[in-house]
Amino acid sequence: MDKLLIRGGRSLQGQVRISGAKNAALPELCAALLTAEPVTLTNVPRLQDVATMLTLIRNMGVTAERSEDGTVSINAGALSSPEAPYELVKTMRASVLALGPLLARFGEATVSLPGGCAIGSRPVDQHIKGLQAMGAEIVVEHGYMIAKLPKGWTRLKGCHITTDMVTVTGTENFLMAAALAEGETILENAAQEPEISDLAEMLIKMGAKIEGHGTHRIRIQGVDKLHGCCHQVVADRIETGTFLCAVAATGGDVLLQHGRADHLDAVIDKLRTAGVTVTPEADGIRVQSAGPAHTHLKAQSFRTTEYPGFPTDMQAQFMVLNCVAQGPSKVTETIFENRFMHVNELVRLGAHIQIDGKVAVTEGVAKLSGATVMATDLRASASLVIAGLVAEGETVVDRIYHLDRGYDQMEAKLRGIGADIERVKA
């Protein structure tokens, strides 16, 4: 297993190019299953989840080629099997996104229930309930969701879907299924994340009729057929936010090229209140922090909620900043029931954090000291990297396969702006 070796204490200076969003690229690769015509995605990030998704769709008989510049060309003209086997989906929950498109275009799908996830139980009951409301017959057997259209049906039927809670991939599955369904679908309580809007924009280029994306109520008028398109994956707001927190914590002056400030209002607002200078520029965001966080930044309390609230995927990274800023803060995690696994590792580096249920209370310290720590999930890994950049001495972050799942060459990007960080190959 690869590790990261970080020697902390350097400020960060220069420019970083923000990659395409993992959470947009994954549903968009699945959206290519909705048409027999070629689809080209550009700005696709180079990360493990994308590689897994490419393997998954190739295994269905789809042609998918990726080039060095981040372009992926997909042709789902012929499909040998509408199946997502456990072996291929166990490391990536987003594989559930194959269910809606396969069912909508081929009338059947067999998709493994995603494997267990460290951050919470993450059931997929809402996905199943919504697709059943569109007429799909779905049974869960031997760890698989086996879905098909009722006898005599050629398409799903549009309907009104109100989910019990706001679900990002659930909304994406319904959007893709409804695009090819018969009649109108209305999604109430829809997720509003920028990745949903990006997927909707791609589907509209493919000929889908969608209104209201980016709001809680999305209206989709199903069409008979979708065609090919070329679509650029939106910038990754979580990668952007991770670099914002890294620069804020270490001190420095960095331009995050292609970063979208308009997708990060809640995080940027907290950073500014803490004392960080964040300036939207023509094609990116500039972040300036006058020195190590403890010298001038104030810790900030926040509560994770659905977009446009503070993203759960930024909770761990901002918590590190709180750990090394001045004063107390209270972080409340409302989306996932087990998303504080970075806390014990941060404590091993010298952070002062106490957990009480959904709340983590931190008291800023002047310094962290390097140690060997273990990554437990994707954003926990990112938080440990930021902590390592701040800590005195050497930090080794183990089990970084979690990080590789969702960050495009993180250590190379950090090295490019002055961090002392290297990958130690297993």
Ligand X SMILES: CC(=O)N[C@H]1[C@@H](OP(=O)(O)OP(=O)(O)OC[C@H]2O[C@@H](n3ccc(=O)[nH]c3=O)[C@H](O)[C@@H]2O)O[C@H](CO)[C@@H](O)[C@@H]1O
Ligand Y SMILES: C=C(OP(=O)(O)O)C(=O)O
Q: Which residues bind ligand X (CB under 6 A)?
A: 23, 26, 93-94, 120, 122-127, 165, 167-170, 312-313, 335-336
306: nearest Cα among 333, 329, 285, 331:
333
Q: Judged by CB, which is closer to ligand X: 93, or 294?
A: 93
Using DSSP, state whether 375 is helix, strand or coil.
Answer: coil
Q: Nearest distance from residue 353's CB to ligand X, in Å?
A: 21
Among ligand X, ligand Y, none, residue 406 binds (CB under 5-8 Å by kind):
ligand Y
Helix spans in 251-353 (H): 265-274, 293-296, 315-324, 342-348
Asked whether residue 335 is marked as a ligand-binding residue, the answer is: yes
3-state DSSP: the chain helix, strand, coil percent, rounded to 5?
35, 30, 35
CB of 10 or CB of 339, closer to ligand X: 339
For residue 236, say whether it is annotated as part of any ligand binding site.
Answer: no
In the block, tokens 């998303």 appear at: 339
With CB under 5 to 8 Å by kind, the binding choice for 170 among ligand X, ligand Y, none is ligand X
Nearest-approach distance from CB 167 to ligand X, in angstroms: 3
3-state secondary structure of 155: coil
Residue 123, annotated as binding a ligand: yes
Angle between helices 22-31 and 99-106 (to 10 degrees): 10
Tell the smallest beta-carbon distance from residue 223 to ligand Y (Å): 29
Question: Please, what sign has the CA dihedral across residues 148, 100, 102, 83?
Answer: negative
313 annotated binding-site participant: yes
Q: Is 94 in the site for ligand Y (CB under 6 A)?
A: yes
Judged by beta carbon, residue 94 or residue 156, the one nearer ligand X is 94
- Distance of closest approach, residue 167 Cβ to ligand Y, in angstroms: 11
In the complex, the smallest distance separating the C-beta of residue 277 from ligand X, rounded to whole angstroms, is 27
Instruction: Mark whether 323 is an active-site residue.
Output: no
Q: Is 124 labeled as ligand-binding?
A: yes
Burial label for 381, CB within 10 Å (0-12, 13-18, 19+), is: buried
Binding characters for ligand Y, 395-424, by CB under 6 A (x = yes): -----------x------------------
Q: How many residues does the chain have?
A: 426
From 3, 10, 93, 231, residue interacting with ligand Y (rule: CB under 6 A): 93
b/e map of 287-313 (b: 16 or more CB within 10 Å)? bebeebbbeebebbebebebbeebbbb
For 125, the token pair is: 């009951």
Catalytic position from the list 117, 159, 229, 245: 117
Q: Which residues have a catalytic role annotated?
A: 117
**Residues in touch with ligand Y (CB under 6 A):** 23, 93-94, 313, 378-379, 406
